[in-house]
Amino acid sequence: MTTTPAATPATVEEAEAAWRAAQTLPDPEPALRALLHPECVIVHSPVGHQHDADAWLGYAARLGRTSQVDTFEVTVRRFGATAVVSCIQEMRVASVPDLPPFVIQAAVTRVWHDSPTHGWQLAHLQMARRVPPG
């Protein structure tokens, strides 16, 4: 079941759940943008793109619709108003219509910052693609 993420997550766990849920919405951009810190940096793809929020959201939209996001081996480290989340993330992306979704697996680090007015916002995201085992 896909749900609309909370606008102002009160905990880093809520922020993580909102991030995963937002990616599977039919139009994920508004929900993802609400979770991004204005100065967020996103490092991703096999060639190591470094994007701000606008460039990454455009890239993600061109990639195709994400139907499922799962995380494994999640660790959360808190440092006051900052939390670092590391995990293995697996996404199913429908990049080609009428074909089964493509599985993208990545080692992921998300750095969240607790804003007094916006709750937990993503300040930094790094995704290093992996070849799924098996």
pTM summary value? 0.87
Residues sharing a CB contact under 8 Å with residue 62, sequence separation 6 or more, in sequence order: none
Q: Where are the beta strands (DSSP E) in the chain?
A: 36-44, 49-51, 65-79, 82-94, 102-115, 119-130
> Which of the pair, 67 or 64, is modelled with greater confidence?
67
Residue 133: the pLDDT is: 61
Q: How confident is the model at residue 70 (pLDDT cuts 50, 70, 90)?
A: very high
Look at strands 65-79 and 82-94 and give their pairing: antiparallel
| Alpha helix segments (H runs only) across 10-111 | 12-23, 29-35, 53-63
